[in-house]
Structures are given as structure tokens and as C-alpha cells.
């Protein structure tokens, strides 16, 4: 029997440190912890899929909570059943009432466990939907106030003008000009086009 841990955070900006600490408390070797930085809306996640390939009958997989497994009710319940059917035990630190075992539980316990699982996954999906609504509302409010969303636009700086003139005069290479202007290649050439258009 081998014990694995699975961690998921919704984006690359989020910190998985708290969940890592949870796995350490469960005495799981860091080599056996799988981490995805992506949404829980579906299960097309590289580390999750790798975990499913690694587990064998009798193994244990630990999650911080059911929301780390997934946030889509129907799909999460199907994944839960996949582990059960393949003899893999599931442990949820925050929801031990839905932990599985390889022992044959009585029918009433199974029914109660399924009801709790349905409720938890439904709440997880609802929470995700509400987060999306709040994000959309926030974007609408920001746009209404005239705020720019996304990456800040690169401006024509004195450093760019200097680099541009030296580059046009053949004194430096394009790569050197990009370095002086502190711009990526695509940004530099976009600004060149903009500068030349505005200074015809």
C-alpha cells in the first residue's frame, strides 16, 4: 500500500503552501505529492491524470478537501466512484465523513455517505459559479469606470526613443535596442510601428 497526496490551486498566482503543510502532517513523501495549478471545473489536469495512472488497488490518496478534487458536481462524483471501484482509498482532511475504505460498509452508511458527497460537491460547484459571477461583475464595474484591464500598455519612453534612433542609424542591433528599451521582442516591434506611424 502506498499513500499519495493531491494538491490543487486555481491559478499560478495562488500559493499551495498551506496544502503542502497538510500533506507533511500526513507524513506523505514530497515525491508522492501531485500538484496542479488550474481550475477545478474539469479533470483534464496533467498531474491529476498522472496520479490516476500511478495508483493501484489498496493505495490511499489524500486531499485537503473535496473542493481540491474538483468543483463540478457530476464529474467529481464520477471521479470519486472511479477510485472506489478501483480499490483506491480516498481521504479528505476537512471532510472525513466521506472517506472511503476497502471494507464493505453497510448499505445505510453508503447511502448517507453518498448524500453527503452530493451536497458537498453541489456546494463546491455553486461556490465556483458565484466566484465567476463576482469576477464578471468586478470586470463590468472596472470597465464602467474606464479602468484598463489586463497587462499595462507599454509607453514610448525616452529609453525607447534613444534605442530606436540608434537602431535605425545602424549603431546597435535590434536585440541591443530591446535591451536598452527594456522591452520584449513583440512589444518592441509593436512600439516601433506605433512610433513610426505617429512621427511620419
The phi and psi torsions of 5 (rounded to 5 degrees) equal -125, 145
**Number of domains, the chain:** 2
Catalytic residue (one of 10, 11, 39, 179): 10
Residue 108 confidence (pLDDT): 78
- Residues 79, 168, single domain; the answer is no
Boundaries of domain holding 178:
158-198
* CA–CA gap between residue 192 and residue 189 (Å, rounded): 5
Read off the CATH number of the domain in which 112 is found.
3.40.50.1390
- Residues 16, 93, single domain; the answer is yes
Nearest to 126 by CA among 18, 40, 8, 10: 40
Are 36 and 70 in contact by the 8 Å Cβ rule? The answer is no
Mean pLDDT of 86-102: 92
Nearest to 95 by CA among 131, 132, 123, 127: 123
What are the pLDDT digits (tens) for 149-175?
A: 555 555 778 889 899 999 999 999 989
8 Cβ partners below 8 Å, 6+ apart?
Answer: 35, 36, 37, 38, 40, 45, 48, 68, 69
- Residues 89, 180, single domain; the answer is no
- Residues 7, 95, single domain; the answer is yes
What are the pLDDT digits (tens) for 9-58?
A: 987 667 888 999 999 999 999 999 999 998 888 899 999 999 999 999 99
Q: How many CB atoms lie within 10 A of CB 94?
A: 14
Question: Is 10 part of the annotated catalytic residue set?
Answer: yes
DSSP state at residue 185: H
What are the pLDDT digits (tens) for 132-145?
A: 687 676 767 667 77
Model-wide pTM > 0.75: no
- Residues 122, 174, single domain; the answer is no
Amino acid at each position: 500500500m502506498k499513500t499519495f497526496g493531491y494538491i490543487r490551486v486555481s491559478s499560478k498566482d495562488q500559493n499551495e503552501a498551506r496544502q503542502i503543510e497538510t500533506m507533511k502532517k500526513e507524513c506523505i513523501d514530497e515525491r508522492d505529492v501531485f500538484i496542479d495549478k488550474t481550475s477545478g471545473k474539469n479533470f483534464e489536469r496533467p498531474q491529476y491524470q498522472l496520479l490516476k495512472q500511478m495508483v493501484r488497488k489498496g493505495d490511499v490518496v489524500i486531499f485537503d478537501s473535496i473542493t481540491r478534487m474538483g468543483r463540478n458536481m457530476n464529474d467529481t462524483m464520477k471521479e470519486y466512484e472511479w477510485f472506489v471501484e478501483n480499490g483506491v482509498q480516498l481521504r479528505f482532511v476537512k471532510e472525513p465523513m466521506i472517506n472511503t475504505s476497502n471494507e464493505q460498509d453497510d448499505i445505510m452508511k453508503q447511502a448517507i455517505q453518498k448524500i453527503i458527497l452530493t451536497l458537498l460537491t453541489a456546494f463546491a460547484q455553486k461556490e465556483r459559479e458565484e466566484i465567476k459571477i463576482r469576477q464578471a461583475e468586478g470586470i463590468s464595474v472596472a470597465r464602467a469606470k474606464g479602468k484598463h484591464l489586463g497587462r499595462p500598455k507599454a509607453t514610448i519612453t525616452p529609453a525607447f526613443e534613444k534605442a530606436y534612433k540608434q537602431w535605425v542609424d545602424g549603431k546597435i542591433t535590434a536585440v541591443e535596442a530591446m535591451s536598452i528599451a527594456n522591452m520584449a521582442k513583440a512589444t518592441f516591434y509593436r512600439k516601433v510601428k506605433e512610433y513610426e506611424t505617429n512621427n511620419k
